[in-house]
A and B are shown apart, each in its own frame.
Chain A
Amino acid sequence: MAQNTDFGFDDDVRMLKESASRFFLEKETLTKLRPHITGTEDPHIGEVRAGWYATEDWQEMVELGWPIVAVPADAGGIGMGLVAAVALQEEIGRAASPTPLTGTLQATFVLREAQATSELQLIASGQSMALAIHGEDGSLELDSTDVTVSNGRLSGTSWYVQDAQKVDGYVVAAAAGNGIGLYHVPRDAVEVLPDRIVDLTRDQARVVLDNVEATEVAPPGEGETVLAQAMPALLTLLAADIVGAAEWQVQETAEYARVRTQFDRPIGFFQAVKHPIVNMMIAVDEARSLVYNAASAWDSDPDDALRTALLAQSSASDCASFCSNRSTQLHGGIGFTWESDVQIYHKRQMHSQFLYGDATWHREKLAALL
């Protein structure tokens, strides 16, 4: 199929991206986050952090229709493609925003593949949702869940659930004798045990299910297929978040190199500083082009969705690691301190880098296609 020249970024998507960019700038998310992480600095003595997010900002996003951009129109959504969700997620990453929008966009694409209209309608009604699909070993295979299903009831623990404290419900992967099924479970039916994690902008938890009644989204044996079909979208969204955050790291590091003076010059004069910042930009641009390519393929050339998503995630994962490393190093001591936002982005990237698998894993998957 011929490629569209603009990756599907039509006027509507461009306007969405611009307004999201403005929105997060105005909301000053990290300034608002600060008081909630102050006092939790030392992991040896601090409490487990509650998964703070700006609830009023989330309400505004609901009113703007952002959680439903990719919900099909027949389920009450706006019915746009992955490219629209990617546009939002890139801006979320750039702002390092803790928001249930991230999980909700991810869940949307799983529900779409499962054609789970009534759960999509829950999102359309303003509910947030997150995926609960991993087992304790953090295996990247799609059948790795430790939750089991019996007579429509779920038992066991789902691990590494992102934004678990923020959302209204979960899409849970559970094993039956004949494979994996997917189920919707409301927040108040489960116990949420927050993990103590590095990243300050996410919350992660174990979701404990004790003989919980659940609504079937995909029957046992079809869950793996649905997850496999949705995986390119999940990887692309994740990579978009990384790219947004990495662009912040490039711009912030360049700004610091323009103003920080040593040896009577701005340090950006020195090529030992200048060249690595350029290398950061190159890494971001490669990943970003591959992200847009993957979103475009998902929307208009589905046969190429997996290959392009694997390219996007593996490039973005390497980009996250590299840009984080250089941004902290080139900021010198100040970037290493709690008070700097550089560490917040660094830690968000450390987290993103390994979600759903790292670069090496995804290149291994790619090799099988070549």
Chain B
Amino acid sequence: MSTDQEKSEFRDYCRRWLEENRPPPTELPLPQAAYEVTYESHRNYLCDWQAKCYEAQLIATDVPAQYGGHGHDGFQSIASSEVLRAKVPYFINWIGLGMTAPTLLIHGTEEQKERFLPPIFSAEEIWCQGFSEPGAGSDLVSLQTSAVRDGDEWVINGSKVWTSLGALASWMLLLARTDKNDKYNGITYFLAPMDQEGVTVRPIHKMTGESGFNEVFLEDARVPDHLRVDEIGAGWKVAMSTLTSERGAAQGVGAVASSESPMAAVNQLIQLAKDTRRNGRRVWDDPVWRDRIVKIYERTEAMIQNGRRSRVEALNGGAMRLPLQGKLVGSEVRQELGEIALGILGMRSSLYVGDEHAEADGRWPLSYMNSYTGTISGGSSEIQRNILGERVLGLPKTK
């Protein structure tokens, strides 16, 4: 392990580097989170930024050098928290960093790790995730996209949905069924090239009007067998470890998907209530609104302290109890925060992005609507509660 002195020096270095290398703002404002990126101009800007951060050792900080990492020990969490703190742009390849890399580090072959990890870190190759299907959302294990062996290749047929970054990605984490008669052991995990005939990407517009995710149709698409991860039929087991990364248990290589820390959003909410006058007084002077706002502040501080407590073995109530709450609580608190912001604005919350009179260019109704991404994707809040009830409290499995 690195010493406290080394960690402190590394923190100072990160802080200095981020201050000196902060990129200029984009002409068209960036979307609020990495999973909403749609436009080429944003892609190019964000890929350049991520490559620069990778070179500066803020990404893949603790990954061994043979896989393109920087080979430190215990520095990644410092780098990631400094990135978040500096309020710089997020990393576009958040699926590659947050899901592909941890999965390959655990389940990948040497060749797969050496081939795929460096371009994930540098954002030369963007990744998307092909798990959910029109008929398989929360009940993911019922997915039907098929993979049929043809010599050294697999032939893929089916469709995937809610594919963030699908239009920009060159690779997909793909779950496909290799055995129709074995629900859990009939799924295999592949690394699928997107740039081929047989793969069609069609954007889906969200309720916000923005694009940001896609439908992906796979019609006789092909994946070579050496791009299979782990054994045939081991896909469900591998996917569960990937989903664990998505749920925040393995922030191992530096994925930062949003530039806004939870407490920064709360501070903006408080400021909004102080700046907004209605019926002859500030909204902050209305005790009912104030109580709701302070409750959000309280829960946000609790999330931060949960993070601190989760690292103290004697106090955390078990290794997974607090980490498994992070996504659920964070996304629900964020949604409540959005609702309160709309309430503070009242009739002004109707003014949306592009309206010259809109508060903060309409970001409050926009972020409120986008908060449903948090409570639905990556295992909905309902699924998260199943997982917590079953894994932490030992309640009977829903299935």
Contacts and interface: CB of A to CB of B under 8 A. Distances in A.
A277 B393 contact: yes
B389 A275 contact: yes
B65 interface: no
State the main secondary structure of chain A at its contact with B: helix
A274 interface: yes
Interface stretch (B97-105, B183-191, B321-329): B321-329
B363 interface: no
B385 interface: yes
Nearest to B399: A269
Please tell me the size bucket of the interface on B. Answer: 35 or more
B395 A286 contact: no
Contacts of A17: 314
Looking at B287, B309, B312, which has the most chain A CB atoms within 10 Å of its CB? B309
Interface in A335-370: 360, 363-364, 366-367, 370
Contacts of A250: 393
A278 B308 contact: no
A363 to B, nearest CB: 4
Nearest to A250: B393
B312 A6 contact: yes
Contact of A285 (B294, B317, B393): B317
Contacts of B293: 367
B357 interface: no
B298 A363 contact: yes
B388 A281 contact: yes
Contact of B395 (A7, A277, A288): A277
A3 B397 CA distance: 39
Nearest to A287: B302
Interface string B307-336: 011011011010001100100110000000
B270 interface: yes
B394 interface: yes
Interface string A118-158: 00000000000000000000000000000000000000000
A302 to B, nearest CB: 18
A5 B312 contact: yes
B386 A274 contact: yes
Contact of B308 (A14, A269, A289, A315): A289
A274 B290 contact: no
A360 B291 CA distance: 7
Interface string B281-300: 00010010011011101110
A39 interface: no
B396 A258 contact: yes
Contact of A274 (B298, B311, B395): B395
A27 interface: no
Given A364-B291, A366-B298, A370-B297, A268 B312 contact: no
Contacts of A364: 287, 290-291, 294
B290 A367 contact: yes
Contacts of B398: 269, 271, 274
A311 B303 CA distance: 12
A277 B389 contact: yes
Contacts of A254: 393-395
A293 interface: yes
B358 interface: no
Residue from A265, A285, A311 with most neighbouring chain B CB atoms (10 Å)? A285
Nearest to A276: B385
B277 to A, nearest CB: 17
Contact of A292 (B309, B386, B397): B309
Contacts of A9: 312, 314-315
B309 A370 contact: no
Contacts of B301: 290, 293, 311
Contacts of A366: 294, 297-298
B392 interface: yes
Nearest to A266: B396
A311 B298 contact: yes
A257 B311 CA distance: 29
Contact of B315 (A292, A311, A318): A292
A282 interface: yes
A24 B319 CA distance: 25
A266 B393 CA distance: 13
B306 interface: yes
Contacts of B386: 271, 274-275
A285 B321 contact: yes
A314 interface: yes
A7 B309 contact: yes
A250 B395 CA distance: 12
Nearest to B329: A282
B309 A289 contact: yes
A292 B312 CA distance: 11
Contact of A282 (B308, B325, B390): B325
Contacts of A288: 309
Nearest to A314: B298
8 contacts: A5-B308, A6-B314, A268-B393, A277-B393, A285-B322, A289-B306, A314-B295, A363-B290
Interface of B: 270, 284, 287, 290-291, 293-295, 297-299, 301-303, 305-306, 308-309, 311-312, 314-315, 317, 321-322, 325, 328-329, 382, 385-386, 388-390, 392-398
Given A286-B299, A363-B295, 11 more contacts: A5-B312, A6-B314, A254-B395, A275-B382, A286-B302, A363-B291, A364-B291, A366-B297, A367-B284, A370-B270, A370-B297
